Amino acid sequence: MAPLTSDDVLNVKFQVSSFKEGYNQDEVDEFLDEVTTTMRGLEERLGALREPAGPSHRRAEILLTSGNVRSVRFATTRWSGYHIDEVDAFLAQVVAAMETLEAQLSTGSFLGRPGTDAGTGGAYGGGTYGAGADQTGYTSGGAGTSGSQCAEAIAQRDQYIAQLQQENAYLRAELESAQRRLGTTGF
């Protein structure tokens, strides 16, 4: 499954339900505009991390978090609204994509590259992950090949964590969607 982008959110089309309960189209469209802006902002910030050129003169706008998307509730209508299941499934993908982008920004890693803040802590917080000068096998100043292997391993771990977070978000959103459907049908 390819990661969702801001362009995917901008161009999404939902089927309209006639004479059946559906989400208010205007509310969904306005919210997706905010999601598009937010995802563009996240993508721009990641792009700035990727390209070590000078700092940008313009700060990307972040309006929402993945938590905001997960907790959004739309008004329903019985006349002409977007199919609830379609919107819910798409929002689950949005949450997963945003959580991945947020995780990449918070750890400073993306696409398998380790964080850029060397020595200031990694995905698990402070320091050097237990490499002290008094430990066996540690040689001061000898990062060389083993250092790059460690960096690679950390980058792979961070990427794996981001994928698991994306799957977790998708499954949580699917569960919430199913619970909403059960709640609205009276079961």
Residues 6+ away with beta carbon under 8 Å from 57? none
Of the candidates 142, 150, 144, the residue with the CA atom closest to the CA atom of residue 122: 150
| Domain range for 43 | 6-52+59-185
Q: Per-residue pLDDT for 88 more than 90?
A: yes
Q: CA 130, CA 127: separation in Å to the nearest integer?
A: 8
Asked whether residue 157 is domain-assigned, the answer is yes
Asked whether residue 86 is domain-assigned, the answer is yes
Specify the pTM: 0.55
Q: CA 61, CA 40: separation in Å to the nearest integer?
A: 8
Output 58-63 pairs: Cβ under 8 A, ≥24 positions apart.
Answer: 61/37, 62/38, 63/34, 63/37, 63/38
Residue 38: Cβ-neighbour burial (10 angstroms; 0-12, 13-18, 19+) = buried
Asked whether residue 71 is domain-assigned, the answer is yes
Asked whether residue 74 is domain-assigned, the answer is yes
The domain tally of the chain equals: 1
pLDDT, tens only, 98-145: 999 998 888 875 444 443 333 333 333 333 333 334 433 334 444 445
pLDDT, tens only, 25-76: 999 999 999 999 999 999 998 887 666 555 544 555 788 999 999 999 999 9
